[in-house]
Chain A
């Protein structure tokens, strides 16, 4: 059995379930309560669970993210919402210098079971300060896990294992996905340690995540019409990367394109490519390629933003380039 819902509703169901089953869980962030969430993810939860557990905060990203760390150390299971990834840079000190380090630095005495959700990505003409993809930066940090749900299923089911994890988990929700609709099976469960093949194929691997998954699936569809069978791998978990799934796909297809909405330099794409070269270089029939965002601050005008971002057409061209 399955039912139809959108990504936003799936996230809300997950939050509602977490608040229901575990009294230690509470939500905290800017406008998560009375406003209903900037992207309406938490709409209605204030009425259901009250202001103690759906806690509106001042515009103090550093303060309330740090407070989330402290609350986690104090025995609670906070879910901190940061409105958008650009604003998370105001909280970077607490995430990098405290949350990620505490277990190791304390000789294993303290753990920080904190979940931080934030919106990421471009495509809605909201300009250079609301559109970037910094999840790759966070994915470079030892001590945390980084998730990027790109499907209804992951939106609904990644939160529970993230909350069960004893260490900090960051969840990046691409803003164009909030209205994504789909079917959700009643009996599905997900993990937070593996990549998944979203479309099987045999000629080229398209390795991607988050907001680029739908574009990659569109590209695979176009390529199928041209006789190229592309396999689409959804990374899902950006730290730790699931090397086994990536390498199995690349070794099978012998060609790979990595699609990442971050800027190309020092990106998730760069990391995945390096690992492919390290691990399955001799299986390759062509150099590994990538499609990333152009290295510019995100422009506002629609045509310029479109030009800056990975698009299905660019992915198709990159895959075809592997056969040149």
Chain B
């Protein structure tokens, strides 16, 4: 049987990093993988409810891009954002507690899996409206640009403002290929390019908008062509290759930070698991999934590291065991968490009087 969406050749070639960075990328991909495998299990056990969208297979995208950013940068993500929260620095226990709906979660159990927020790492959600984060990213970038250009006193900015010398904060906006069909995508691309805003658009193209394949919903399936029509640079990257993603994101982030305006990265990837836990996967062949799994981001990358002598099997097992232990601690933390009292149901509909917005 022919495969509708053939996988690229497995990532290969040298890994141009020193050992700490090389292993850090691997460690984060393993952390995401083990966290999400456990999340799926806990969903089956009824500990996690609602919608649960797994990133398994796509780890190289989030890890590669987020390792190319600075702590002061803004992140806007989708409902498939466990990886982004984790790599950005959210404590795994806090993340797990949020999925459990516990008060110790990042959003006190109000958000759940799809709505992870973290003020300290400037993660502005966790947006479950497809395309909904794109205009938000434009506004965050507008604020950053107006602030860096000196029209605002630095002291007036929110916490996390860049003090002293002006250094351009950029906004990385993650969205799926499905978002490209939304009007919000086109309005946001136009605004960002028109106003030359520091936005790094990161399109996580996993070839399916839920269960509808790209060629079944887009007249133009080359997503870079769409971005380029808004007069911004657009590059397609092998999203199964964490090295390719990281290098492309580093270059792109530097360009955006330099004031060259927005940039679009298409990160071609594949979701190994179902869209959510309610998906019978009637729309794609198992052979296609298997082919993409053969170029999976973790084993291909660890294989390259081993071939270069940058990783031993013992080191790999140690990283994997550390990820597993972190997951176990996170589950314990979430289990030990508490339920927000129902008396607090109406709290935080509005900002409390006297609180700094």
- Whether the pair A70, B141 counts as a contact (CB closer than 8 A) is yes
Query: Is B105 an interface residue when CB atoms closer than 8 A count as contact?
Result: yes
Q: How far is the CA of A72 from the CA of B158 in the complex (A)?
A: 10
B106 surroundings in chain A (CB, below 8 A): 107, 109
Q: How far is the CA of A71 from the CA of B136 in the complex (A)?
A: 8
The digit string for B135-160, where 1 denotes a CB below 8 A from any CB of A, is: 11111111110110101110011100
Interface residues on A, range: 35 or more
A102 surroundings in chain B (CB, below 8 A): 125
Query: Is A281 an interface residue when CB atoms closer than 8 A count as contact?
Result: no
- Whether the pair B190, A66 counts as a contact (CB closer than 8 A) is no
- Whether the pair B136, A142 counts as a contact (CB closer than 8 A) is no
Other-chain residue from A76, A103, A105, A109 in contact with B350 (beta carbon distance below 8 A): A103
Query: Is B78 an interface residue when CB atoms closer than 8 A count as contact?
Result: no
- Whether the pair B349, A104 counts as a contact (CB closer than 8 A) is yes
Query: Is A174 an interface residue when CB atoms closer than 8 A count as contact?
Result: no
In this complex, how many residues of chain B approach chain A with their Cβ under 8 Å: the count is 56
The digit string for A51-80, where 1 denotes a CB below 8 A from any CB of B, is: 011000110101111111111111110100
Q: In the complex, what residue of chain B is closest to A59 when comparing beta carbons? A: B187
Q: How far is the CA of A97 from the CA of B191 in the complex (A)?
A: 20
Q: B144, B191, B350 — which one has the most chain A CB atoms within 10 A of its CB?
A: B350
- Whether the pair A106, B111 counts as a contact (CB closer than 8 A) is yes
Q: How far is the CA of A66 from the CA of B156 in the complex (A)?
A: 22
- Whether the pair A69, B351 counts as a contact (CB closer than 8 A) is no
Among A97-121, those with CB < 8 Å from B are 97-98, 102-113
- Whether the pair B348, A71 counts as a contact (CB closer than 8 A) is no
Query: Is B184 an interface residue when CB atoms closer than 8 A count as contact?
Result: yes
A167 surroundings in chain B (CB, below 8 A): 350-351, 357
Query: Is A172 an interface residue when CB atoms closer than 8 A count as contact?
Result: no
Query: Is B291 an interface residue when CB atoms closer than 8 A count as contact?
Result: no
Q: A105-B115, A109-B117, A113-B357 are in contact. Are A98 and B129 (CB under 8 A)?
A: yes
- Whether the pair B132, A105 counts as a contact (CB closer than 8 A) is no
B117 surroundings in chain A (CB, below 8 A): 105-107, 109-110
Among B95-130, those with CB < 8 Å from A are 105-111, 115, 117-119, 124-127, 129
Among B331-357, those with CB < 8 Å from A are 347-352, 355-357
Query: Is A225 an interface residue when CB atoms closer than 8 A count as contact?
Result: no
Q: A70-B140, A75-B158, A113-B357 are in contact. Are A23 and B153 (CB under 8 A)?
A: yes
Query: Is B74 an interface residue when CB atoms closer than 8 A count as contact?
Result: yes
The digit string for A270-308, where 1 denotes a CB below 8 A from any CB of B, is: 000000000000000000000000000000000000000
Q: How far is the CA of A65 from the CA of B139 in the complex (A)?
A: 9
Other-chain residue from A68, A69, A74 in contact with B144 (beta carbon distance below 8 A): A74
Other-chain residue from B110, B127, B138, B352 in contact with A67 (beta carbon distance below 8 A): B138
The digit string for B176-210, where 1 denotes a CB below 8 A from any CB of A, is: 00000001100110110010000000000000000
- Whether the pair B74, A74 counts as a contact (CB closer than 8 A) is yes
Query: Is A143 an interface residue when CB atoms closer than 8 A count as contact?
Result: yes
Q: A58, A103, A113 — which one has the most chain B CB atoms within 10 A of its CB?
A: A103
A166 surroundings in chain B (CB, below 8 A): 350-351, 355-357
Among A195-235, those with CB < 8 Å from B are none
Q: A23-B152, A103-B348 are in contact. Are A68 and B139 (CB under 8 A)?
A: yes
Other-chain residue from B74, B111, B137, B142 in contact with A107 (beta carbon distance below 8 A): B111
Query: Is B232 an interface residue when CB atoms closer than 8 A count as contact?
Result: no
- Whether the pair B349, A23 counts as a contact (CB closer than 8 A) is no
- Whether the pair A70, B187 counts as a contact (CB closer than 8 A) is no
Q: A97, A143, A166 — which one has the most chain B CB atoms within 10 A of its CB?
A: A166
Q: A53-B151, A67-B191, A167-B350 are in contact. Are A105 and B125 (CB under 8 A)?
A: yes
Other-chain residue from A53, A62, A73, A78 in contact with B184 (beta carbon distance below 8 A): A62
- Whether the pair A63, B156 counts as a contact (CB closer than 8 A) is no
Residues on B close to A: CB < 8 A?
A: 74, 105-111, 115, 117-119, 124-127, 129, 132, 134-144, 146-147, 149, 151-153, 156-158, 161, 171, 183-184, 187-188, 190-191, 194, 347-352, 355-357
14 contacts across the A-B interface (CB closer than 8 A):
A23-B151, A23-B152, A63-B188, A66-B136, A66-B138, A67-B138, A76-B152, A106-B111, A106-B126, A109-B117, A111-B351, A113-B357, A166-B355, A166-B357
